[in-house]
Amino acid sequence: MEGTRHLILRGDSREMRRVERESVDLVVTSPPYPMIQMWDALFSGMNGKVAGALSRGDGERAFELMHDELDIVWKRTCSVLREGGIACIVIGDATRKLGGAFRLYQNHSRVVSSFVARGLQPLPGIMWVKQSNKPNKFLGSGMLPPSAYPTLEHEHILLFRKGLNRTFSTAAEKQRRRRSAYFWEERNRWFSDAWVDIKGERQRIGGEQMSRRSASFPIEIARRLVCMFSVQGDTVLDPFLGRGTTAVSAACCGRNSIGIEIDGILRGVSVRRLSGSVKECSTYSARRLENHMEYVARRRKTGNELRYVSRKYGFPVTTSQETDIEVPVLAAVAEPHEDCLDASYS
Ligand SMILES: C[S@@+](CC[C@H](N)C(=O)[O-])C[C@H]1O[C@@H](n2cnc3c(N)ncnc32)[C@H](O)[C@@H]1O
């Protein structure tokens, strides 16, 4: 498999100067969530009116002003996405008491409106259910009705397509697509509209303040989305890179990536994380193959032999679409040069 390149930029995605129009095949990202307190200062820095609206207790206005800033990024995101490309936005809603009133701020529906207004097609999305065992997870008036509220234990993974379905016309493109297929049993798990098997991320870097600022999503979310909605050799963009989860996932799965992060410290964390990701990524690839072999063994036990054979690995697969699968195995990430890191595969 050919090498991949990962561009990790420090900057403000509202500008996105270094990303060419129609050059990106997939977007995987999670923005700062409007009306979640940890992001108040960031949004106030982007638009001075945010702090005023919050201090007046005008939640609706603050919510709109924050989304206005995200809209600028979504506009750029849509213009750098190729026809047929897909955008995956991981976003949670927010609950907050302002001006004496507790309410829900529906970030997900505001983001849907923004993408639809830009002409993208909304696709069936995924609910990421991340159950919490915390005793304080319940909101409101406890055991006394009627002012208690369901806990927010899910986030939305919103999916959009730019234009019509992507086409693969040359023999080389078709082969690249077939190499990037996923296993039948992976399809059955990944393409469910509720992901209940992925826990929230424990933030492990540099102390409490940094943990709160990074708000990473679990790498399994990004890896799945990359495998589901792009092919090997594609370019994946994350305009809110944080600790670089999307860049590592892209490298892991044989895709190129571009990440933009406004915070210089986090950008440095991403570079180091990607540089040190070889073991984690090669283990992930090996695990995919082992999981498949375990699936084959379970099928055999029930007397259900699989009909097709993988050309590369020689093991059985369920459908003819899986016969050319090649799972990339990351072998090395070269020293960063300028803003780039190059990855190679065994
Ligand atoms: C929810 S976090 C994303 C975390 C990321 N998915 C990860 O796994 O680490 C949002 C990130 O966007 C960054 N950010 C906020 N506004 C930005 C902007 N205008 N341009 C680029 N990055 C921005 C924040 O510093 C933060 O790291």
What is the tens place of the pLDDT at every residue in 170-227?
999 999 999 999 999 999 999 999 999 998 876 555 544 454 457 899 999 999 999 9
CATH of region 4-278, choose from 3.40.50.150, 3.40.1710.10, 1.10.10.10, 3.30.565.10: 3.40.50.150
Q: Is the pLDDT of residue 281 over 60?
A: yes
Ligand 1 nearest-atom number relative to CA 33: 1
Summarised one tens digit per residue, pLDDT across range 30-51 is 999 999 999 999 999 999 999 9
Determine the residue of 216, 241, 274 to mutate for testing ligand 1's pocket, defined as the one with the most ligand atoms within 8 A of the Cβ atom.
241
3-state secondary structure at position 4: strand
Contact 244, 8 (CB under 8 A): yes
Look at residue 208 in the predicted model and tell me its pLDDT.
Answer: 40
Ligand 1 nearest-atom number relative to CA 266: 27
- Number of CB atoms found within 10 A of residue 276's CB: 11
- Tell me, using a 6 A CB cutoff, whether residue 217 lines ligand 1: yes
CA of 91 to the centre of ligand 1 (A): 12
Percent of the chain whose pLDDT exceeds 90 = 88
Look at residue 233 in the predicted model and tell me its pLDDT.
Answer: 98
Domain coordinates in residue numbering, the chain: 4-278
The position carrying tokens 């424990």 is 202
Look at residue 198 in the predicted model and tell me its pLDDT.
Answer: 94
DSSP H helices in 154-309? 171-179, 184-190, 207-214, 219-229, 245-252, 264-275, 278-301
Average pLDDT, the chain: 94
Residue 229 banded pLDDT, cuts 50, 70, 90: very high
Look at residue 154 in the predicted model and tell me its pLDDT.
Answer: 95
Using CA atoms, how far apart are residues 241 and 251, in angstroms rounded to an integer?
14
CA of 32 to the centre of ligand 1 (A): 6
Which DSSP symbol is given to 24?
E
Look at residue 245 in the predicted model and tell me its pLDDT.
Answer: 98
Q: Read off the amino acid at residue 156.
A: H
Question: Which whole number is the average pLDDT over 273-292?
Answer: 98
Contact 108, 156 (CB under 8 A): yes
Question: Which whole number is the average pLDDT over 268-279?
Answer: 97
Look at residue 213 in the predicted model and tell me its pLDDT.
Answer: 58
Q: Read off the amino acid at residue 215.
A: A
Which run of H or E residues covers position 67? Answer: helix 59-80
- Tell me, using a 6 A CB cutoff, whether residue 242 lines ligand 1: yes
Of the candidates 216, 286, 291, 226, the residue with the CA atom closest to the CA atom of residue 254: 226
How far CA 8 is from CA of 90, 152, 310, in Å, comes to 20, 33, 35
Q: Is the pLDDT of residue 265 over 80?
A: yes
How is residue 174 written in tokens?
A: 């078709």
- Tell me, using a 6 A CB cutoff, whether residue 214 lines ligand 1: yes
Of the candidates 44, 58, 52, the residue with the CA atom closest to the CA atom of residue 101: 58
